[in-house]
Amino acid sequence: NFTPNAFVDEMVAELKEKLGNDKVVLGLSGGVDSTVAAVLLNKAIGQNLYCIFVNNGLLRKNEFQNVLDQYKGMGLNVKGVDAGDRFLGELAGISDPETKRKTIGRVFIEVFDDESHLLEDVKWLAQGTIYPDVIESVSVKGPSATIKSHHNVGGLPDYMKLKIVEPLRMLFKDEVRRVGATLGIDPELLGRHPFPGPGLSIRILGDITPEKVQILQDVDSVFIEGLKSWGLYDKVWQAGAILLPVNSVGVMGDERTYEKVVALRAVESTDGMTADWVHLPYEFLMKVSNDIINKVKGVNRVVYDISSKPPATIEWE
């Protein structure tokens, strides 16, 4: 039976022993796993842990600054690197989702590598890998390799010559959350919905432009804030908005408009492998749809995704 307190005590002792006075670098994503790994390592080795939080320009609205402030408030030794323009520049003109993922993975490694070279004498790379990632990274080497390439595991190049430390490698997600709670991490952070590494890029169908990212960030923000204020956020496993590559006709005053369509998606799931769409209240959908169309310029139609996985996936890509 898993006890988070005992895990923390044992892991902190093990990390102290293993890492001694070595310097360790870790990439924070804003998600639960990397945050819990960082706080655990910080407890073991303090300021010898150097955290890097990269803005890939595809995070949720205001997320980079908000999460960076939160990390600093937690006493983590963290550097925020705003590389949004670089990522969006490299992604320009790319429509294929797998090419988007590969591009983001490559640029992330370049940025992370540049940053870690600014630190002297780093010996270790820490990662927030959890048990399901370990399993999945084994299976993606099989026949399904072309389905999806996660860059979370083993994705960093050999030339970094760092030893790997993964304190959460044997834990399931709910255990990670319990460890995080024991470590005193803000419950709001621990309760965050999963968010894909390639971020909003796989929720913008077709090519990515800074204008599309901004529209989607605004739509997503109205949806997520709405879920929170209606008390629905914690009842949903994952939610987000998708910007479709079609325009549709609408009316505004005496004019006809020809503007973007967005889809909203909210699912219940335990592990993301299967998922059911959530029966969100009609009153909520009505309010959020009105808010999106009134507040976000360039969108004149909102649809709700009522497909389950399988056969539909959670992301639209």
Measured from the CB of residue 272, what is the shortest distance to ligand XMP in angstroms? 4
For residue 136, count CB atoms less than 10 angstroms from its CB and return exposed for 0-12, middle for 13-18, buried for 19 or more: middle
Q: Is 32 annotated as a binding residue?
A: yes
Which residue, 182 or 201, is less far from ligand XMP as judged by CB? Answer: 201
Q: For residue 200, which of 185, 192, 190, 210 has the smallest C-alpha distance? A: 210
Q: Is 220 annotated as a binding residue?
A: no
3-state secondary structure 41-54: HHHHHHHHEEEEEE
Which residue, 19 or 275, is less far from ligand XMP as judged by CB? Answer: 275
- Cα separation, 244 vs 21, in Å, equals 50
Q: Is 30 annotated as a binding residue?
A: yes
- Interface residue list for ligand XMP (CB under 6 A): 101, 148, 150, 152, 194, 196-198, 238, 272, 309, 313-315
Measured from the CB of residue 125, what is the shortest distance to ligand XMP in angstroms? 18
Strands 122-126 and 78-82: unpaired
Which helix or strand (DSSP H or E) is residue 6 part of?
A: helix 4-19
3-state secondary structure (DSSP) of residue 280:
coil
Confirm if 191 and 150 have CB atoms less than 8 A apart.
no
Q: Is 122 annotated as a binding residue?
A: no
Q: Is 29 annotated as a binding residue?
A: yes
Which residue, 80 or 196, is less far from ligand XMP as judged by CB? Answer: 196
Which residue, 133 or 218, is less far from ligand XMP as judged by CB? Answer: 133
Measured from the CB of residue 277, what is the shortest distance to ligand XMP in angstroms? 12
Residues making up the annotated binding site for ATP are 29-35
